[in-house]
Amino acid sequence: MYSMFGSTIAAISTPRGKGGVAVIRISGDEAISICESFVFPKSKKKLGEIRHASVCLADVTDEDGDLLDEALVSVFHAPHSYTGENTVEISCHGGILLTESILMRALACGAVQAGPGEFTRRAFSAGKLSLSQAEAVIGMIDAQTKASLSLSRLNLGGAVRRKTDAIYENLRNVVSSVYAVIDFPDEDLASLSEDEVREGIESAISALENLRRSYKTGHAVCEGVRTVIFGKPNTGKSTILNLLAEKERAIVTDVAGTTRDVISETVAAGNVTLRLSDTAGVHGTNDLVESIGVQRSIEALEEAELILAVFDLSHGLDAEDEEILTHVEKRASFGIPVIAICNKSDLFESEKVKNDIQKIETMLGTKPILLSAKNENSREPLVSLIEQIFESSDVSAADNAVITNARQFAAVSEALTHAQSALFSLEYLGEDTACAELELAMGKLGELDGRQVTIDIVDSIFHRFCVGK
Ligand X SMILES: Nc1nc2c(ncn2[C@@H]2O[C@H](COP(=O)(O)OP(=O)(O)OP(=O)(O)O)[C@@H](O)[C@H]2O)c(=O)[nH]1
Interacting residue ranges for ligand X, rule: CB under 6 A: 231, 233-239, 252-254, 256-259, 281, 343-344, 346-347, 372-374
Query: What distance in Å separates the CA atoms of residue 277 and residue 279, rounded to the nearest whole number?
Result: 6
217 binds, among ligand X, Mg ion, none (CB under 5 to 8 A by kind): none
Is the CB of 197 or the CB of 300 nearer to Mg ion? 300
Cβ atoms of 445 and 422 within 8 Å: the answer is no
Of the candidate spans 237-245, 323-331, 415-423, 458-466, the one that interacts with Mg ion by CB under 5 A turns out to be 237-245
For Mg ion, the closer CB: 10 or 274: 274
Distance CA(229)–CA(223), nearest Å, equals 19
Q: Which residue in 80, 83, 92, 82 sits closest to 24, CA to CA?
A: 92
- Least separation in angstroms between residue 22's CB and ligand X is 46
φ, ψ (nearest 5 deg) of residue 159: -60, -50
Nearer to ligand X, 132 or 259 (CB): 259
Count of CB atoms situated within 10 Å of the CB of 117: 24
Report in angstroms how near the CB of residue 326 gets to ligand X at its nearest: 18
Name the segment binding Mg ion (CB under 5 A); options: 9-17, 188-196, 236-244, 264-272.
Answer: 236-244
Q: What's the min distance (Å) between Cβ of 151 and Mg ion?
A: 33
In whole angstroms, the minimum distance from the beta carbon of 317 to ligand X comes to 15
In the list Mg ion, ligand X, none, the entry touching 24 (Cβ below 5 to 8 angstroms by class) is none
Q: How far is the CB of 378 from ligand X (least distance, A)?
A: 7
Using CB atoms, what's the residue nearest to ligand X?
281
Nearest distance, CB of residue 355 and ligand X, angstroms: 21
297 binds Mg ion (CB under 5 A): no
Give least dist CB 299 to ligand X, A.
16
Q: Nearest distance from residue 260's CB to ligand X, in Å? A: 8
213, 243, 309, 317 from 240: Cα distances, Å: 29, 5, 11, 19
Q: Are strands 19-27 and 39-41 parallel, antiparallel or unpaired?
A: unpaired
DSSP string across 136-169: HHHHHHH--SHHHHHHHHHHHTTHHHHHHHHHHH
Task: Write down the least CB distance from residue 303 to ligand X, Å.
Answer: 19
Given a contact cutoff of 8 angstroms between Cβ atoms, the answer to whether 105 and 99 are in contact is no
Backbone angles phi, psi at 20, to 5 degrees: -60, -45
Task: State the minimum distance, in angstroms, from the CB of residue 282 to Mg ion.
Answer: 11
Q: Is 238 in the site for Mg ion (CB under 5 A)?
A: yes
Residue 346 contacts which entry, Mg ion, ligand X, none (Cβ below 5-8 A, type-dependent): ligand X
Nearer CB in complex with Mg ion: 214/277: 277
Burial 4-27 (b: 16+ CB within 10 A, else e): ebebbbbbbbbeeeeeeebbbbbb
Q: How many CB atoms lie within 10 A of CB 445?
A: 27
Give Cβ neighbours of residue 370 (< 8 Å, ≥ 6 apart): 342, 345, 350
Which of Mg ion, ligand X, none has residue 297 at its interface (CB below 5 to 8 Å by kind)? Answer: none
Name the residue nearer to ligand X (CB basis): 148 or 238.
Answer: 238
CB neighbours (10 Å) of residue 391? Answer: 16
CB count in 10 Å sphere of residue 348 = 17
- Residue 259 Cβ, how far from Mg ion at the closest point, in Å? 3
- Could you tell which of Mg ion, ligand X, none binds residue 344, using a CB distance below 5 to 8 A set by kind? ligand X
234 binds, among Mg ion, ligand X, none (CB under 5 to 8 A by kind): ligand X
Strand order in the sheet with 19-27: 39-41, 54-61, 67-76, 87-94, 19-27, 9-12, 112-113
Q: Which does 57 bind (CB under 5 to 8 A by kind): Mg ion, ligand X, none?
A: none
What amino acid is encoded at 298 in this protein? I
| Binding partner of residue 254 among ligand X, Mg ion, none, CB cut-off 5 to 8 Å per kind | ligand X
- What's at 171, amino acid-wise? L
Buried residues in 287-325 as b, exposed as e (16+ CB within 10 A):
eeebeebbebbeebbeebbbbbbbbbbbeebeebbeebb
Instruction: Closer to ligand X by CB, 154 or 250: give it.
Output: 250
231 three-state secondary structure? strand
Q: Which does 13 bind (CB under 5 to 8 A by kind): Mg ion, ligand X, none?
A: none
Of the two residues 186 and 254, which places its CB atom closer to ligand X in the complex? 254
Q: Which of residues 418-457 bind Mg ion (CB under 5 A)?
A: none
Q: Which is nearer to ligand X, 105 or 344 (CB)?
A: 344
Rule CB under 5 A: say whether 405 interacts with Mg ion: no
Find the binder of Mg ion among 74, 81, 170, 259 (CB under 5 A).
259
User: Which is nearer to Mg ion, 280 or 353 (by Cβ)?
Assistant: 280
Parallel, antiparallel or unpaired: strands 272-278 and 263-269: antiparallel
- Closer to ligand X by Cβ: residue 200 or 233: 233
Neighbours of 412 (CB within 10 A): 28
When the beta carbons of 202 and 346 are compared against ligand X, the nearer one is 346
The contact set with Mg ion (CB under 5 A) reads: 237-238, 258-259
